[in-house]
Amino acid sequence: MELTFKNPGYSIDELNKLIQRGVKYDKRTKKELLLAQETPRTASPSSINEIEQKQKIILPDDYKLFLIKNNGGIPSLKNFIINKKEKSTIRFFFSTDCLYHQASLEANIEGFKGRAPTEMLPIAEDVGGNYILISSSDSEYGNLFFWDHELEADKEKQPYRKNIKKIAQSLDEFLQSLS
């Protein structure tokens, strides 16, 4: 099966079905979820460049190509292996120019600051609220990591790597491993 991506929000019909099943959203979240359907399906090189300049980083080429082609979103294949004993499921990859705050790449980068080493950037979230990180450090450039929020350092302490596990050498390797 070919890996495809859809926007992180919901159509009005999808949203109504979730609400009928008992899922509750406040007005702002409903509006954002509906607006997220309008997220551009491709990221422009200028929006990627703007993020790089603002964050003072250089994103790995495979990640930039992924944003240009898919601009994040919900993958058709979502399951991944953390290690021999643990698995997880992607909720969505973050998008540029996304009106749904929880799926916005920039909002997640900003909100994540101080929670992990500075060279680690969040690019996706799993269904449990954990992050998939991409490294911008020289020694691990482009590697992907699973960041477990349950094992996060206390707020008054420096972030550490105890809750971070390497899951792939590159984004391409990670995407190919999804099932």
Task: Enumerate the H helices of 100-154 as residue ranges.
Answer: 105-112
Contact 63, 134 (CB under 8 A): yes
What pLDDT is attached to residue 65? 97
- State which residues of the chain have pLDDT below 50: none
Phi, psi at residue 124, to the nearest 5°?
-155, 165
Contact 146, 163 (CB under 8 A): no
pTM, full prediction: 0.91
CA dist 66 → 3, 34, 123 (Å): 12, 23, 11
What pLDDT is attached to residue 154? 83
Q: For residue 56, what are its two tokens?
A: 């003072």
Q: What is the mean pLDDT of the chain?
A: 93
Q: Among 67, 68, 151, which Cα is nearest to 103's? A: 67
What pLDDT is attached to residue 86? 95
What is the spatial order of strands in the sheet that 164-168 belongs to?
79-81, 87-93, 120-126, 131-135, 144-147, 164-168
Domains of the chain: 5-177 (3.40.1580.10)
What pLDDT is attached to residue 151? 87
What pLDDT is attached to residue 54? 92
* Intra-chain end-to-end CA distance of the chain, in Å: 9
